[in-house]
Amino acid sequence: MKVSILQMNVRFGEPDANIDRMERMLAEQMDREAPDAFVLPELWTTGFYPKPLADYADRAGERTCELLSGLAQKYRVNLVGGSVITSEKDKFHNQCFIFDRGGNRIASYCKTHLFSPAKEEKAFAAGDSPCVFSLDGVRCGMAICYDIRFPEFIRQLALQDISILFVSAAWPVQRTAHWQTLLCARAIENQMFVAAANAAGVQPTMQCAGHSMLIDPWGEVLAEAGDEEICLSAEMDLSILQGIRSKINVFADRRPELYSD
């Protein structure tokens, strides 16, 4: 499966400009090499995160879903839609929507681990449901940014036999080394591919690190961006998974009876 990441220079609080930029980057990449799946960063329409949220929220994700569904159908490509600010009644979520090649919404995920140092939990409601879905018959899981610091959460996705973990993030430049290390660790310990899309550029609240990554189950980096806006791609050879998991069978050797709180 060929996966492309749109590492966007997200303009803070300018959803129309960001949507226009995403559409142009997507079209240009499809003209170049037509991947099987695209991944967008966290809060790619607004940045992380403008206030008041009510001025930027997409009610029930309606605008986002209409846009992404249309693009997935137009280009016949799977689309892991990063995340956007959504509203439902009096609650706001940091939410991802996922579409197949036919433009069908096949999954959604609300970020479950909210970043308390930025008081994200004061603004957003946390999700409470992990997200597993299939793209072209390949089982995949979804995480957003801070989620990757919780290995027990990612392991629960891995135990559902996923082959690819998609990650969307707005990760800051001062913790770039954490980003790189955690992503490789999640790939190695769970013997799966990781496709991680980070934002780029300077926002009022942070400077985003970029360094989007595509990683194989050995922890080998297939492709890594710098800090500039770019479309990053790599081929994921899913045929290697069975050999890796049989050679070092960490799932068979687990002792979950020792891991409870």
What are the catalytic residues?
Answer: 42, 111, 145
The two beta strands, 84-88 and 193-198, are unpaired
Token pair in block for residue 89? 């009644």
E strands, the chain, are 2-7, 37-39, 58-59, 78-80, 84-88, 91-99, 105-110, 132-135, 138-144, 164-169, 193-198, 202-203, 206-207, 213-215, 221-224, 230-235
Q: Map tokens 């050679």 to a residue.
A: 247
Cα 235 to Cα 3: distance, rounded to the nearest angstrom = 6
Cα Rg of the chain (Å, integer) = 17
The two beta strands, 206-207 and 105-110, are unpaired
Question: Residue 199's closest CA among 109, 77, 84, 54?
Answer: 84
Chain Cα centroid distance, residue 139: 15
- Residue 4 phi, psi (nearest 5): -115, 140
